[in-house]
C-alpha cells in the first residue's frame, strides 16, 4: 500500500471518528435540552398555578371586582355613626396597598401550594425558591436562608395586577436538575459511549492491520528480491553451460541432444517463473514503472502470435489472425503488453483437451483498441470467472496434467492492462471455450 494512500485512509478514519463523536455529543445534548425544556415547562406550569391560587385566596375585597376603578381614581368609604351622620374619608388607592410579609400565614400557604402543584407535574426532585419585592430586589423570604443563590432560576410575578398588595417576584430553582436529567439520559449516554468505543476499537484494529500489512508487504518484497537474485544466478549458469554444449564442435549424440533441448526448455520455464514472481511483487507494491513508447500494436500482435507457431504446429492446432487492416500506433509498454497477449495464448494452448484452435481479432471501438482472443478450451464456470484474475488462483484443469505455474499470469495481465488505463474481460462456457477481451485506450 502506498504511503499516500495509508495517510489518506488514516485521515478519513480520523474524520469519521470526529464526525461520529460530534454526532453522538449533539444527540446527547439535544436529548438533554429537550428534557430540560420539558422540566422547565412543568415547573413554570406548577409555579403559575401556585401563584394563581395564592392571588385568589388573598383577593380580600370581593365587591371590588364589581367596580371599574382606574389608577388615580379615588375610593370613598362611608361609615354611618349612631348619630345618623355620614362621614367620608378620601384615600389614594396607592396608599391602600399592604405588604404581604405582614401576613404570618402567607409563606406557609405559598409553600404548601407550590409543593402540591409540583407533585401534580410529577416533579419530585429537590427545589429552592425565594420571594423578592419587585423592582427593589429586596429579599422577603428564601428557602435556603442566607445561603448564596446559585444556578439559573425560573421567574414569575405574584400580585402583578393587584390593588391591595405590592407585586412580588418569585424565583424557583432546582439544584439537582442536571444530575436528575443525566440519570434519566443514562441509557442514551451509555449506549452512545458504548457504540463509539466499539467503532473506535474497530478503527484502531483496522489501522493496526494496515500497518502490519505494510510491514509484511515490505518483508515480502525483500524476500522476493533476495529469492529471485539467488535463483537467477544458477539459472544463468545453466543457460551458459547448455549454450556451450550447443556451440561445441564435437558431434553430440541424438539422445544427449534431446536432453539438452529438454534442459533448455525447462531452464527457460524456470526463468519465466522467476520473472513472473518478481513482476507480481512489484505490481502489488506499486513499484512497477511502465516504459511507454509509440508502438505499432498490429505489428506487436503479429509478432507475439507468430512466436507460438512452432508449438501450435506440434499440436496440429490452428491460430488465426483477423486484425484491422489499418495500422495503429499506441503509447504503451511493448514488453508488458506482449507478455499479456502471450499469457492468454499460452493458457489457451494449455487448457484444452483437444487440438488448440485460437482466433485473435482486433477492432476499433469508441476511442479504444480492442483485442479479442477466442479459444476452444475447457471453459470456466461463473464462479471460476469471478476469481480468475485473483493472485495465485488457478482454474481446475480436470484431466489436463500439463498445466504448470503459480497462478500469477492473469493477475499480472489485469494489473498491466489497468496500469495502461484499460480493462480486460472474460466470457466462457464449460467445454466450449473462452473469450478474453483486452480494451486499450487510444489516447
Tens digit of pLDDT for each residue in 282-299?
666 566 678 889 999 999
State the pLDDT at residue 279: 65
Distance CA 354, CA 3 (A): 49
> For residues 294 and 331, is the Cβ–Cβ distance under 8 A?
yes
Q: What are the two backbone dihedrals, phi and then psi, of residue 230, each rounded to the nearest 5 degrees?
A: -65, -35
Q: How confident is residue 240, by pLDDT bands cut at 50, 70 and 90?
A: confident
Among the residue ranges 71-75, 167-171, 190-194, the one predicted with the least confidence is 71-75
State the pLDDT at residue 306: 87
Helices (H), 164-253: 177-184, 186-246
Q: How confident is residue 359, by pLDDT bands cut at 50, 70 and 90?
A: very high
Rg (CA), the chain: 48
Distance CA 426, CA 51 (A): 84
State the pLDDT at residue 371: 94
| Residues of the chain by 3-state class (helix, strand, coil), percent to 5 | 50, 20, 30
Strand arrangement, sheet containing 138-142: 138-142, 128-133, 168-173, 154-158
> For residues 300 and 338, is the Cβ–Cβ distance under 8 A?
yes
Pairing of strands 293-296, 168-173: unpaired
Torsion of CA 224, 229, 234, 238, to 10 degrees: 100
Tens digit of pLDDT for each residue in 146-168?
656 666 788 888 887 766 677 88
CA 28 to chain centre: 21
> For residues 423 and 295, is the Cβ–Cβ distance under 8 A?
no
Q: How confident is residue 315, by pLDDT bands cut at 50, 70 and 90?
A: confident
State the pLDDT at residue 401: 40
State the pLDDT at residue 285: 58
Distance CA 316, CA 309 (A): 10
Tens digit of pLDDT for each residue in 182-227?
887 887 788 888 888 888 888 888 888 888 887 887 787 777 667 7
> For residues 309 and 321, is the Cβ–Cβ distance under 8 A?
no
Give, for 42, the enclosing helix (H) or strand (E). helix 3-57
CB atoms within 10 A of CB 128: 17
CB atoms within 10 A of CB 325: 5
Q: Is the pLDDT of residue 16 over 70?
A: yes
Looking at the whole model, is its pTM more than 0.85?
no
Amino acid at each position: 500500500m502506498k504511503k499516500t494512500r495509508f495517510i489518506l485512509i488514516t485521515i478519513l478514519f480520523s474524520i469519521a471518528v470526529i464526525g461520529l463523536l460530534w454526532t453522538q455529543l449533539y444527540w446527547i445534548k439535544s436529548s438533554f435540552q429537550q428534557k430540560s425544556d420539558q422540566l422547565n415547562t412543568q415547573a413554570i406550569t406548577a409555579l403559575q398555578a401556585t401563584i394563581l391560587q395564592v392571588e385568589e385566596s388573598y383577593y380580600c375585597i370581593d365587591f371590588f371586582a364589581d367596580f371599574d376603578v382606574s389608577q388615580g381614581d379615588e375610593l370613598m368609604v362611608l361609615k354611618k355613626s349612631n348619630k345618623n351622620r355620614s362621614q367620608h374619608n378620601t384615600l389614594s388607592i396607592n396608599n391602600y396597598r399592604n405588604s404581604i410579609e405582614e401576613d404570618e400565614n402567607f409563606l406557609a400557604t405559598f409553600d404548601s401550594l407550590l409543593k402540591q402543584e409540583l407533585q401534580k407535574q410529577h416533579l419530585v426532585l429537590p427545589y429552592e425558591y425565594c420571594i423578592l419585592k419587585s423592582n427593589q430586589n429586596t429579599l422577603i423570604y428564601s428557602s435556603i436562608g442566607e445561603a448564596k443563590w446559585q444556578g439559573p432560576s425560573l421567574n414569575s410575578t405574584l400580585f402583578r395586577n393587584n390593588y391591595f398588595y405590592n407585586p412580588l417576584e418569585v424565583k424557583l430553582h432546582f439544584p439537582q436538575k442536571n444530575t436528575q436529567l443525566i440519570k434519566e439520559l443514562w441509557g442514551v449516554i451509555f449506549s452512545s459511549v458504548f457504540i463509539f468505543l466499539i467503532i473506535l476499537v474497530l478503527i484502531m484494529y483496522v489501522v493496526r492491520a494496515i500497518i502490519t500489512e505494510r510491514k509484511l508487504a515490505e518483508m515480502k518484497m525483500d524476500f522476493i528480491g533476495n529469492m529471485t537474485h539467488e535463483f537467477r544466478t544458477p539459472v544463468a549458469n545453466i543457460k551458459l553451460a547448455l549454450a556451450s554444449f550447443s556451440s561445441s564442435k564435437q558431434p553430440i549424440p541424438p539422445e544427449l541432444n534431446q536432453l539438452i533441448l529438454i534442459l533448455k526448455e525447462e531452464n527457460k520455464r524456470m526463468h519465466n517463473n522467476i520473472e513472473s514472481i518478481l513482476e507480481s511483487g512489484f505490481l502489488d507494491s506499486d513499484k512497477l514503472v511502465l516504459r511507454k513508447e509509440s508502438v505499432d500494436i498490429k505489428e506487436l500482435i503479429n509478432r507475439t502470435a507468430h512466436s507460438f507457431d512452432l508449438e501450435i504446429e506440434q499440436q496440429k492446432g490452428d491460430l488465426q489472425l483477423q486484425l484491422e487492416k489499418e495500422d495503429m500506433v499506441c503509447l504503451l509498454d511493448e514488453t508488458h503488453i506482449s507478455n499479456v497477449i502471450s499469457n492468454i495464448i499460452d493458457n489457451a494452448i494449455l487448457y484444452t483437451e483437444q487440438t488448440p484452435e485460437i482466433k485473435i481479432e482486433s477492432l476499433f471501438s469508441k476511442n479504444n483498441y480492442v483485442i479479442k482472443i477466442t479459444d476452444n478450451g475447457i471453459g470456466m464456470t461463473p464462479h471460476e470467472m469471478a476469481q480468475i484474475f485473483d493472485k495465485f488462483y488457478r482454474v481446475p484443469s480436470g484431466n489436463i496434467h500439463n498445466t504448470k505455474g503459480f497462478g500469477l499470469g492473469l493477475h499480472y495481465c489485469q494489473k498491466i492492462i489497468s496500469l495502461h488505463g484499460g480493462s480486460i474481460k472474460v466470457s466462457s462456457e464449460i467445454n466450449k471455450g473462452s473469450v478474453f477481451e483486452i480494451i486499450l485506450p487510444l489516447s
